[in-house]
Amino acid sequence: MHTYNEIIGQADQLQKTLELVENLKIEHENVDYVLFTGCGTSYYLAASAAKYYQTVTGQFASAVPASELFLHTSTTIVPGKKYLVVGISRSGTTSEILIALNHLKDQADIRTLAVTCNGDTPMATAADQVLSLDHIKEKSVVMTQSFSNMLFALQVFAAKQTSSTQNLNELKQIPKLVETALTFEVLTKGVAEDLSKKRFIFLGSGSYNGLAKEATLKLKEMTQTECESYSSLEFRHGPISIVDDSTVVVLLTQHETEDYDQQLVKDIQKLGGYVLAIGPIPQEFVADHIIELTDKISDRNRHAIYVPYLQLLAHQRAVHLGFNPDKPRNLTQVVKLS
């Protein structure tokens, strides 16, 4: 199956992405703001990439859906400020991205960078510069290795812009760590195949909130399961009211959040919820199921190691429910406005 093979094969692709972006020369002039944009999975990728970029480079960055750039330009672009707009699209043909890039074209204060898995597309023509991962050729409808690789590419791109080598040195370890993670697909199988669980909630904060949103989308696309995502502690402010014994909460833990993660787990468990925690785990931390990730990589750079588990969870549940992950309902590989 295409989707499964692309999930399982992403470690080798991450290594290729690392080598490509390390050697790629992208002109980077001083700007006031870096704006990351995309649609669907690419927008969630943009949300994580923007927060990573700001953390690593110290430059203001944020993410917006591509449609906001042409429907509501005044809410996203401030006149007189210099921008780098990073447009993200697996296919390079997504309608809203093309409209947005063309809408911004030839504006003196705006430079554009296309990030795609297909460099020979209208998107590449519309942008000033291109970061193309042509080795990613997904046949699946849902985005899997394209998500992890485009996010990883943007992390390497950001890390190269600083004088410190710490982030780049950590990122160089990621392909091997992802390869190891992919040998433990059994770790998500029990939760994925428990049909007494009807609702899934994904929680992540900071740059991991984009991953939580993407995990929600993957499960929804492949299985049509009822699922939602929230910033971790925001979940306690209202949404926690939907938790019951049919609810699985997947918590993406970090060192930065460890002082608050355990109490959040307890609050969910008191209401009958089942908690799967993925990430670095402090001693004596308790959850219903734990997938412990390395603590030798900083929170800034660990994103790609979470991704296989989140994708496998969705794929395993789809197969167990009798769905074909290669043919998700109502979806096509490329979304175009008619």
pLDDT digits (tens, 9 = 90+) for 264-278: 999 999 999 999 999
| pLDDT 10s digits, 25-52 | 887 778 999 999 999 999 999 999 999 9
Coil, helix or strand at residue 305: helix
What is the separation of C-alpha 142 from the centre of its chain, rounded to a whole number of angstroms?
13
Q: What is the pTM of this model?
A: 0.94
Q: Of 61, 134, 65, 142, which is closest to residue 100 (Cα–Cα)?
A: 65
pLDDT of res. 28: 75
Task: Report, at the CATH architecture level, how domain 2-172 is classified.
Answer: 3-Layer(aba) Sandwich (3.40)
Domain ranges of the chain: 2-172, 179-321
How far apart (Å, rounded) are the C-alpha atoms in residues 150 and 214? 13
CB 232 within 8 A of CB 260: yes
Percentage of residues of the chain with pLDDT beyond 70: 96
Q: Is the pLDDT of residue 331 over 50?
A: no
pLDDT of res. 143: 86
Residue with tokens 């002082």: 259
Query: Which neighbouring-strand residues pair with 167?
Result: none
pLDDT of res. 199: 96
**Strands, DSSP E only, in 51-91?**
61-65, 83-89
Q: How confident is the model at residue 141 (pLDDT cuts 50, 70, 90)?
A: confident
| pLDDT 10s digits, 209-242 | 999 999 999 999 999 888 999 999 999 999 999 9
Coil, helix or strand at residue 230: strand
Q: Of 244, 239, 154, which is closest to residue 199 (Cα–Cα)?
A: 244
The pLDDT mean for the chain works out to 93
Which CATH class, in words, describes the domain spanning 179-321? alpha beta
Average pLDDT score over residue span 61-66: 97
Q: How confident is the model at residue 2 (pLDDT cuts 50, 70, 90)?
A: confident
How far apart (Å, rounded) are the C-alpha atoms in residues 274 and 286? 12
CB 164 within 8 A of CB 147: no
pLDDT of res. 318: 93
Q: Is the pLDDT of residue 330 over 70?
A: no
